[in-house]
Each structure stands twice: as structure tokens, then as C-alpha cells.
């Protein structure tokens, strides 16, 4: 049994969904299909949530969400298809949510609203596959992927999720199921999400629970490349990676695979294959238990970074007590550190920009320390760094922080 995952780019239009159907016909007679929200829907719904929580107009985002999906449905189905009624029901549920005044927990509101992207996309795709003659069972993943109540970063309850997934995907060796990536629910059945780009992780959780033969992630790239091709054109593909190397690349910010994806697969020695939905003849990149191989320099860029510099107000040394206090503040706001550097009198960190959490962290840190920050920065990492490898990505950049080891170079740049 194989778990196949399709991201937003692979189902962003009616033509893309028709292409997905062809791929399913060729490769998927049974197993589980995990599907993300369509195209850039999550970005759209994020903006809707922001306006909703600020109690500012959000109508244009709500309307764009409806029209985008309606255009796709109208191209794929005749008007008497039940999908139109399912579409109306989901929109009504969204509108009922939006009529309620937002609470004070932005992350909770985020999960309840953004999850409509996955719920709607999977309804549409499942209906289309069934219309094309496939027998696909739609499953609400929230019934069986259980997390704690850490909204936007739900931590999986592995024991309960494994038990429930066996119940909700009872015969995946002979039947075909389709479900959502990215979302789950807590023990109170409130919707949670697993973190941005978390659909890969969903596929890995399902594969682990059902002892899958393999996970295949379908992307708009030929496999895992040595850089984002939109950033560095004509970058080479990596044919094979070890689990450990894949974890390292994900840790540094490579966007092809979600950082949490590898562990549940490695624990049961389940291979992960990254393939192109644009060229199914290409076998892509295989991640499994092979030994590390020689790899050319790999370039990774994380955009929209905030560099925060922290100094004690009394010019005392940065000591363990300070660091423990600082990390306690970061943990309370669920802020992940991408880079850190300290001297005797200062401690600097680079974190992802987050309009809700980062300002709160800076405000709290200022109660105890002198704090300065720069935003709109990039974190560039070169893994398997070689002499001269950095020139192609640093030309014309201002370097604010630079770190080097034997094989890795990291730069915070403007």
C-alpha cells in the first residue's frame, strides 16, 4: 500500500485536477491519497483570518475564495452533480463561523478558518475522481489524526491516531481513500493544523500508522534540487538521499519536504519518493536508508527573516540564566529560532516573520533587555559548501551575520 500526496500546485486548476486523475489512473488503484488546499488558497484564507480577527473587512477574500473554487467546479461537473450542494454547505459553515465575533486566540481562529481550504479541495477532487470511474472514499482526517491543542502547530497523539487510522482506512490494501493534509483535531474535536506545508507530514503519519510500502509526494519540480529553480535556474537534481541528509536539508529550510516528515518514515524504514506531476516518466528523488553520498553544494533560502539582537540593560554578560529566560519567552510565543549567535554582551537570533507572535516577543524582551531588530531579511544556507560556492548567491547582498563550519555556511543578508 502506497500513500500519495498532492500539493496545492498539482490541483490548482481544472486542468491540473484532470492531470491528477490521469496520474491516479496510472499509479493508484488502492492506498491513500492526501491532498492540500488548491493553489494559493491557504495564503488567501490567512489574509481573511487576519482581517476577521482585526474586525476589518474581509469580504473580498471570502468572495475570492468562493469564485476561485466555483470556476473550477463549473469546468469539471454538470450542474446536477452533488458537489455543488456540498460546496454550498461548506460555504455556509464558513459564513456561520465568520458571523461570530472572533476570540482572543488568533491561532485558534486561524485553524478553524484556514482548514476550509483542505476540506473543500478534497471534496472537489474526490467527486471528480469518482465521476471518472474511480471508487474513492472521502475521509475527514480530523476524525483520526489527533493532536494536542497547540493550534497552528498541533503535536500528534501517535497512539490514538494509529488506532483510529486503522479504523478509518480499514482496507487500504484493496481500496482507495482520499483525505486532507495539514489538518487534524484535538481531543475536543476542535480543528488543529500541523504547521505550514504540513501535508507531507500528514502523509508520513498515515504511512507510519498503516505500515505503508512507500510515500510518494507529487510536486511541480522533477525531484529534490540543489536549489529552488526560481532562485537559481538549471540547478541539478539529487537522485538519492539518506534520511539523515533529508532531515538536515529540511532543518535548514529546504521547502520540498516538511521538516517533520522524515522521522515517522525512518522509524519504520518507509521510503519517500519525490516525483514530478508534470513528467511522470521521471523517477524523481528517493529518500531511504542509504548511506550518505557525495552531494554538490545545496543552496537554501528562507525569506522574511527577522534578526533580533538582545543585550542586558546593565551591560552584564550574556550568561546561562539570560539565555534560559530568553528561550522561555520564545517558547511561550511558539517562536522557532533559525540561527543564533552570541558574544559576551549580546545574543542575536533569526526567526521567521510572524505578524502576531514576533511583535509580542520583542515587546516582552524589551521589558528585560535592550532589543533591536531588522526585518525583511533572508537567511541563506549552503550545505556541502565548497570554495567559491557562495559567490553566486551573495553578490550584491549586505551580510549582517555570517557563520561557517566545515561543511555549512549560513548568512543573514539584506
CA distance 105 to 52: 12
Of 349, 350, 339, 364, give the one whose Cα is nearest residue 318: 349
Question: What is the residue whose three cell numbers read 474581509?
Answer: 58
Dihedral sign from CA coordinates of 50, 53, 54, 60: positive
Using CA atoms, how far residue 111 sits from 57, 140, 205, in Å, is: 19, 15, 19
What cell numbers appear for 170 in the block? 480499514
Query: Quick one: cell of 178?
Result: 482520499
Phi, psi of 146 (to 5 degrees): -100, 140
Per-residue model confidence as pLDDT tens digits over 14-40: 999 999 999 999 999 999 999 999 999
Q: Does residue 224 form part of some domain?
A: no
Whether residue 83 is found in the same domain as residue 192: yes
| More confident of the two residues 197 and 386 | 386
pTM above 0.75? Answer: yes
Query: What's the average model confidence in pLDDT over 318-338?
Result: 90
| Per-residue pLDDT at 292 | 65
- Cα separation of 110 and 228, whole Å? 28
The range of the structural domain enclosing residue 348 comes to 298-413
Q: What is the CATH number of the domain that holds 71?
A: 3.40.1160.10
Q: How confident is the model at residue 320 (pLDDT cuts 50, 70, 90)?
A: confident
Q: What is the pLDDT of residue 172?
A: 96
| CA gap 124, 50 in Å, rounded | 26
Please give the average per-residue pLDDT across 379-401, as a whole number: 92
pLDDT in tens, 255-304: 778 778 999 999 999 999 999 999 999 999 999 998 766 778 999 999 99
pLDDT beyond 80 at 79: yes
Task: Identify which of 199, 161, 164, 215 has the alpha carbon closest to the alpha carbon of residue 31.
Answer: 215
| Final residue of a structural domain among 195, 219, 243 | 219
Average pLDDT on 333-353 reads: 92
Alpha helices (runs of H) in 115-155, residue ranges in sequence order:
116-131
What is the C-alpha to C-alpha distance for residues 171 and 5, in angstroms, rounded to an integer?
Answer: 18
**Are the C-beta atoms of 181 and 203 separated by less than 8 Å?**
yes
Task: Tell me, yes or no, whether 94 and 192 share the same domain.
Answer: yes
Identify the pLDDT of residue 392.
85
Q: Which of 331, 354, 336, 349 is nearest to 403 (CA)?
A: 349
Domain count, the chain: 2
Residue 11 within a domain: yes
Q: What is the mean pLDDT of residues 132-146?
A: 97
129 in any annotated domain:
yes
Note whether 215 and 302 are same-domain residues: no
Residue 87 lies in a domain: yes
Question: Same domain for 207 and 96?
Answer: yes
CATH of the domain at 346: 3.30.2130.10
Q: Are residues 170 and 305 in the same domain?
A: no
Helix (H) or strand (E) holding 246: helix 243-252
Assess contact for 210 and 197: CB atoms under 8 A. Answer: no
* Farthest-apart Cα atoms in the chain, separation: 73
Q: Is 188 inside a domain boundary?
A: yes
Alpha-carbon gap, residue 37 to 181, rounded angstroms: 8
Looking at the DSSP assignment, which residues form a beta bridge with residue 56?
none
In a domain, 343, yes or no: yes
Same domain, 11 and 110: yes
What is the C-alpha separation between 413 and 390, in angstroms, rounded? 12
At residue 257, the pLDDT reads 81
Contact 394, 404 (CB under 8 A): no
- Do 23 and 161 fall within a single domain? yes
Res. 399: pLDDT tops 80: yes
Residues 207 and 313 in one domain: no
pLDDT for the residue numbered 254: 81
Please check whether residue 368 is in contact with residue 296, taking contact to mean a CB–CB distance below 8 angstroms.
Answer: no
Residue 215 located in a structural domain: yes
Strand partners, 119: none
**Is 195 part of a structural domain of the chain?**
yes
Number of H helices, E strands in the chain: 13, 18
Domain end, chosen from 180, 195, 219, is at 219
Indicate if 194 and 338 belong to the same structural domain.
no
Mean confidence (pLDDT) of the chain: 94
Question: If you ran DSSP here, which 8-state letter would residue 259 be given?
Answer: T
Condensed to tens digits (0 to 9), the pLDDT of residues 121-130 reads 999 999 999 9
What's the CA gap between 251 and 270, in Å, rounded?
20
Residues 335 and 200 in one domain: no
In this structure, the answer to whether residues 215 and 309 fall within a common structural domain is no
214 and 308, same domain (yes or no): no
Grid look-up 539518506 returns 242
387 versus 236: the higher-pLDDT residue is 236
- Of 219, 234, 256, which one is at a domain's C-terminal end? 219
The two beta strands, 31-35 and 224-225, are unpaired
Average pLDDT over residues 323-347: 92
Q: How many residues does the chain have?
A: 414
Q: What is the DSSP string of 224-280?
A: EESS-TTTSTTPPEE-EEEHHHHHHHHHHT-SSS-TTSHHHHHTTT--EEEEETT-T
Over residues 97-108, the pLDDT tens digits come to 999 999 999 999
| pLDDT at 314 > cutoff 90 | no
Amino acid at each position: 500500500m502506497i500513500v500519495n500526496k498532492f500539493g496545492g500546485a498539482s490541483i490548482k486548476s481544472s486542468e491540473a485536477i484532470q492531470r491528477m486523475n490521469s496520474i491516479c489512473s496510472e499509479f493508484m488503484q488502492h492506498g491513500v491519497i492526501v491532498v492540500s488546499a488548491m493553489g494559493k488558497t491557504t495564503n488567501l484564507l490567512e489574509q481573511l483570518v487576519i482581517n476577521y480577527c482585526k474586525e476589518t473587512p474581509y469580504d473580498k477574500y471570502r468572495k475570492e475564495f468562493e469564485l476561485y473554487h466555483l470556476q473550477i467546479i463549473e469546468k469539471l461537473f454538470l450542474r446536477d452533480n452533488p458537489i455543488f450542494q456540498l460546496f454550498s454547505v461548506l460555504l455556509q459553515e464558513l459564513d456561520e463561523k465568520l458571523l461570530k465575533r472572533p476570540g482572543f486566540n488568533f491561532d485558534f481562529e486561524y485553524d478553524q478558518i484556514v482548514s476550509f481550504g483542505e476540506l473543500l479541495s478534497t471534496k472537489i477532487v474526490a467527486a471528480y475522481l469518482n465521476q471518472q470511474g474511480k471508487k474513492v472514499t472521502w475521509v475527514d482526517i480530523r476524525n483520526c489524526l489527533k493532536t494536542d491543542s497547540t493550534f497552528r502547530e498541533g503535536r500528534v497523539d501517535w497512539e490514538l491516531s494509529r488506532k483510529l487510522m486503522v479504523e478509518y482506512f480499514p482496507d487500504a490494501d484493496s481500496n482507495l481513500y482520499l483525505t486532507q493534509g495539514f489538518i487534524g483535531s484535538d481531543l475536543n474535536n476542535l480543528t488543529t493544523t500541523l504547521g505550514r506545508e504540513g501535508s507531507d507530514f500528514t502523509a508520513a503519519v498515515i504511512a507510519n500508522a498503516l505500515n505503508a510500502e512507500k510515500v510518494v509526494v507529487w510536486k511541480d519540480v522533477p525531484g529534490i534540487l540543489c536549489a529552488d529553480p526560481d532562485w537559481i535556474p538549471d540547478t541539478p537534481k539529487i537522485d538519492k538521499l539518506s534520511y539523515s541528509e533529508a532531515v538536515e536539508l529540511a532543518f535548514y529550510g529546504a521547502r520540498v519536504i516538511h521538516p517533520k516528515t522524515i522521522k515517522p518514515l525512518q522509524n519504520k524504514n518507509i521510503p519517500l519518493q519525490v516525483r514530478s506531476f508534470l513528467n511522470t516518466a521521471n523517477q524523481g528523488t528517493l529518500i531511504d536508508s542509504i548511506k550518505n553520498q557525495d552531494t554538490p553544494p545545496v543552496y537554501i533560502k528562507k525569506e522574511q527573516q527577522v534578526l533580533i539582537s538582545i543585550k542586558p540593560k546593565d551591560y552584564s554578560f550574556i550568561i546561562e540564566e539570560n539565555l534560559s529566560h530568553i528561550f522561555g519567552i520564545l517558547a511561550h510565543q511558539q517562536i522557532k529560532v533559525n540561527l543564533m549567535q552570541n558574544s559576551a554582551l549580546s545574543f542575536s537570533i533569526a526567526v521567521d516573520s510572524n505578524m502576531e507572535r514576533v511583535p509580542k516577543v520583542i515587546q516582552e524582551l524589551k521589558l528585560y533587555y535592550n532589543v533591536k531588530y531588522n526585518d525583511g531579511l533572508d537567511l541563506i544556507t549552503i550545505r556541502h559548501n565548497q570554495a567559491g560556492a557562495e559567490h553566486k548567491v551573495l553578490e550584491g547582498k549586505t551580510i549582517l551575520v555570517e557563520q561557517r563550519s566545515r561543511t555549512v555556511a549560513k548568512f543573514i543578508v539584506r
